[in-house]
Structure 1
Amino acid sequence: MSTVKKRGPLLTAVVHAILIFLAAFQLFPLVVLFINTLRTDAEIKQTPLGFPEHASFINYAETWMKGSYAVAFRNSIFIGVCVIAIVIVGAGLAAYGVARLKIPGRNFFIGYFMMGMSFPAFMFIVPLYYNFSEMGLVNTHASVIIIYAASYIPFSMLLIRTFLVGIPRELEEAGKIDGCSEFGVFLHVTMPLSLPILATVALIVFVWCWNEFLWANTFLTVDDIRTVSTRFYKFVGEWSRDLAKIYTAGMIALGPIIILYLCLQKSFIEGLTQGGVKG
């Protein structure tokens, strides 16, 4: 017993040291990115790793205006909100169906959704572009909203289903005794209890939509409808010689996601851990 007590603090210290090292390793690029947004292009080219002589946020104002990031933010937020709404409704109903309803062949549907996630996007990009072009959906937000929703529903459904399996059936049966229909139980009993996992799914989907590049770069080629990721790609091409503005553009693109995660990390971790334990 005494040996275990002596090794406990040492093991704890080693684990903490490893975690601190990994955290520093992950944060170092972000710290360098942020510091370089406060420097001039000449300073960065002279010393890539260093502190600004006179820290200034002027790069943010210039990059925001020259990069048309106000329009890009509006487009990405609009697309993200629409996709979240579709995914929450579609994946929520599908998850409730396979978790609670006695649907014939529901295991087949679970396998079908899992198989759908295994196919790479490159398999669909050419036929989808042809079909969407025929329907007049190219260079519209509807094109990527449809693609994102279809892509993210399978994973979201499986994640929500894992959470729903752990909800006691007695709560739903009590709702039915009180006169609720099946949909009423889903809406008034199951969904309120599933808010942690729904918040987690919403955060994951929004981050995916914000960072996604392949589909957005293929279907959104007009400046007025570009998302943040494609706007950043074009901005880098236009200002490739100004490193300060490129660093700043990267920080502008990453900033909202970092802030969003820091604000919602408690709900995010709660949803994932409860879903994992209950599954």
Structure 2
Amino acid sequence: MGTASRRAQPVSWIVLGLLALYALGPLLVFAFNAFKSAREIDSNPLGLPQSFSWGNFAVAWEQAHMGGALLNSLVIAVATAAGVALIATMAAYAMTRLDLPGGGAWILWLLVSSSLPIQLFLVPLVSWWSTLGLYNQPIGLIIIYWAVYSPFATLLVRAFLIGMPKEYEEAARLDGAGELGVFARIVLPMIRPAVLTAALVSGLQAYNEFMLAVTFIQDRDFQPVALSLYSFQQGFTTDWSLVSAAGLLMALPVVVLFLTMQRTFIDGYVSRGIAV
């Protein structure tokens, strides 16, 4: 058995190396292109840059107004994360601890809601949002993100609550705590990894989302950073060196956030399944 395992190790390393190359290869090409000129990308799209054009980042930052766009994305992502975390936590608590009518129908509703493509609702949403004065407003986009990302987040938090013992809550009620006190003082600290994971996932999705942002935000002063890449479209051509530089600038906050909170992020995903 030991000999067979040793023989299988080189094959495993080769497979893992190929998978890593498949995953990281496009990212490396994208990073290399950020340091090339547009002419060099045309002649050498996959290789290392002959000379590093650091000026691409300054041009991309100024031309795409990325400072304001990053601030807009930060506001949208934080508001989305906070709203989804609040909605998902309270909904999951109600589904697992309160005697709601309907029973399993709520789970079915969440599963259906999270599986339906948002494209089905774009036309009525545009009409409705225009009537309500929410079109071309960041709060209108944030409300849509709350609705889109809350079903999965609710299922995630609910999985934590199902595995959490109820004895602590019952002891708090015997001491005279109300339902809100039990939720805030007992339940919420215990499901903190799930809440943070739901907030992180929804915030990152809102930060990277493009289709809804380009549909509901037209004013450049309100546009998130995902739309700033449009600035490099010139007629029927695109300056891919500036697109790559802007893409790296856009990805940098996400990478820093993930490296900072990766333990919480991974723990929230692997410590519970999505229970139904």
- Which residue number corresponds to residue 166 of structure 1? 163
Shift of 1:231: 1.7
Higher mean alpha-carbon deviation, 50-59 vs 121-130, is at 50-59
- With over 3 angstroms needed to count, the CA separation of the structure-2 counterparts of 1:230 and 1:13, relative to structure 1, is same
Cα distance in 2 between the residues matched to 1:180 and 1:9: 59
Match of 1:263 in 2: 260
Q: Distance in 1 between matches of 2:90 and 2:12?
A: 42
Of residues 149, 158, 175 in structure 1, which corresponds to 2:172?
A: 175
AA aligned to 1:128 is L
Q: Establish whether residue 10 from structure 1 lines up as the match of residue 13 from structure 2.
A: no
What TM-score do you get using the length of structure 2 for normalisation?
0.92
Alignment partners' CA distance in 2, 1:143 and 1:160: 25
The offset of 1:12, in angstroms, is 4.3
Q: Indicate the percent of aligned positions where both proteins have the same amino acid.
A: 34
| Matched residue, 2:30 | 33
Q: 1:16 to 1:191 in 2, by over 3 A?
A: farther
TM norm structure 1: 0.91
* Aligned counterpart for 1:235 among listed residues 231, 235, 239: 231
**Between Structure 1 and Structure 2, how many residues are aligned?**
275
The aligned counterpart of 1:112 is 109
Alignment of 1:40-79 (within 5 A): 40-79=37-76
Query: Which amino acid in 2 is paired with 1:191?
Result: L
CA distance in 2, matches of 1:277, 1:151: 18
Aligned mates of 1:180, 1:47 — CA distance in 2: 68
Other structure's SS at 1:117 match? helix
Deviation track 1:121-155 (CA, whole Å, cap 9, x = no partner) reads 12211111111111111110011111100111111
Distance in 1 between residues matched to 2:213 and 2:109, nearest whole Å: 26
Q: Displacement, 1:8?
A: 2.5
**Structure 1 pair 277–122 and aligned structure 2 pair: CA distance change class (3 A):** closer
Which structure 2 segments of 5+ residues have no match?
Answer: none
Report the CA distance shift for 1:157/1:241 in structure 2 as closer, same or farther (over 3 A): closer
Evaluate the alpha carbon distance shift between residue 9 and residue 181 of structure 1 in structure 2; reply closer, same or farther with a 3 A threshold: farther
What amino acid does structure 2 have at the position aligned with 1:64?
Answer: W
Comparing 238-247 and 177-186, the one that deviates more: 238-247
Work out which of the residue numbers 201, 220, 230 in structure 2 matches 1:223: 220
- Which runs of structure 1 show a deviation greater than 4 angstroms over 4 or more consecutive aligned residues? none
Where 1:208 maps in the other structure, the secondary structure is helix
1:191–1:14 distance in 2 versus 1, CA, 3 Å = farther
Residues 160 and 275 of structure 1 are in contact (CA less than 8 Å); yes or no, is this contact kept in structure 2? Answer: no
**2:118–2:148 Cα contact (<8 Å) kept:** no
Q: CA deviation at 1:215?
A: 1.2
Task: Give the aligned partner of residue 24 of structure 1.
Answer: 21
Other structure's SS at 1:106 match: coil
Alignment partners' CA distance in 1, 2:199 and 2:234: 33
Match of 1:276, SS state, is coil
Deviations 1:178-210 (A, max 9, x none): 332121111111111111111211111011101
The CA RMSD measured in Å over matched residues stands at 1.9
